[in-house]
Amino acid sequence: MGSVKDLQVLKPPTAGEGGLGRFFFSDRYSVFDWGEMPDYIQNKGASLCLVSAYFFERLEEKGINTHYLGVVENGKPKRLAELSGPANSMEVRLLRVIKPAVKGSGYDYSIYREKMGNFLIPLEIIYRNSLPAGSSVFRRLKEGNLRLEDLGLKEMPFPGQVLERPLLDVSTKLEASDRYINWEEAKEIAGLNEDEVEEIKRVALLIGELITAEAGKAGLVNEDGKVELGFDENRKLVVVDALGTLDECRFTFRDVPVSKEVARIFYKDTAWYQEVEEAKKRDKIKWKEMVKQSPPPLPRRLRELIAMLYCVSANEITGRTWFKNMPPLAEVVEEIRQVLGLK
């Protein structure tokens, strides 16, 4: 069980052979690495499943290896075109998840130096097409953890800046809190060679281009998004987890967030968020144990609007009306703008 989706293992993966499993996309959501939040977002799980399946199927058409086997309906995995209605379960090939050992105040990744196959690469790749307000880039530049040269920029960027070419960022994946690192450290901890790093970058950029083009048809701007990858038993790259959804990407519509960034904006004004940020500064591993407050629930109308975002976006991106009687995306976005007091 994860913070937003559950996994049923039908056949465990081994060092030499992939496994088989099913994701169950829930209506739960998570922000700021907290885990399950107090509300459920109606139809969120089904919308994530359908959009992710759509992009996996598009990738397969381009010859990219993925773990996707189909959306489950009546107990069987099917292609999207075969489904009679929305579903929230996806059948996938499973890779091993090998967690680094905690060592003092850090992590020991030495196991990844063995040239093995059939495992999740312990990295999260982030492609950035622009730098919207709220992007971690601004905080990292201010704290000195990121340099302008790393971004290929000569001057300090501004919120909303569109990059001349996509930037690829990388963070850890299996630590208590995601930690941004440079590509040299990423190569080292994941036991990658130069060719593997270049292939990871190539696939991540291709995925970003695909999502940008498909989402653009719905009027959505793909500001940035994350990609997760693994190696199969022959150490060939495979795209895993979920893809192109409102949880994996930061979309905007007329400069208003169309993603779980809406919830993040609300929570940034709460005392709970301030306590979370202070705890993370004190201990990057055990920070959650230090937070005494619980996150407050979302206001009812904001929760309803976020649910509409997921449903309408799934309809628009896939080009099929899975969720009926939904208002136009422009109307939902405008009300969110007013509720959150955005300009």
pLDDT for res 26: 96
pLDDT 10s digits, 13-59: 999 899 999 999 999 999 998 999 999 999 999 999 999 999 999 99
For residue 172, pLDDT over 80 is answered with yes
For residue 150, pLDDT over 80 is answered with no
DSSP three-state, residue 292? coil
- Structural domains of the chain ordered from first start: 5-340 (3.30.470.20)
User: Is the pTM for the entire model greater than 0.85?
Assistant: yes
Question: 132: pLDDT confidence band, cut at 50, 70 and 90?
Answer: confident
Q: Where are the beta strands (DSSP E) in the chain?
A: 5-11, 19-25, 68-73, 76-78, 89-94, 101-103, 106-108, 119-120, 123-131, 161-172, 180-181, 221-231, 237-240, 249-253, 256-257
pLDDT 10s digits, 241-290: 999 999 999 999 998 999 888 999 999 999 999 999 999 999 988 899 99
For residue 79, pLDDT over 80 is answered with yes
Average pLDDT over residues 107-132: 93
Token readout for 106 is 């850090």
pLDDT 10s digits, 175-233: 988 899 999 999 999 999 999 999 999 999 999 999 999 999 999 999 999 999 999 99
pLDDT for res 1: 60
* End-to-end Cα spacing for the chain: 38
Q: HSE on the CB side for 206, CA within 13 Å?
A: 17
pLDDT for res 164: 87
Nearest CA-CA partner of 171 in 257, 284, 60, 259: 284
Token readout for 220 is 């959505």
Mind giving me the DSSP string for 116-158? --SEE-SEEEEEEEEE-TT-HHHHHHHHTSS-HHHHT-SS---
Residue 245 DSSP symbol: S
How high is the mean pLDDT of the chain? 94
For residue 145, pLDDT over 90 is answered with no
Q: HSE on the CB side for 58, CA within 13 Å?
A: 20
Token pair 């399950």 is found at 36
Nearest CA-CA partner of 95 in 19, 176, 190, 200: 19
For residue 114, pLDDT over 90 is answered with no
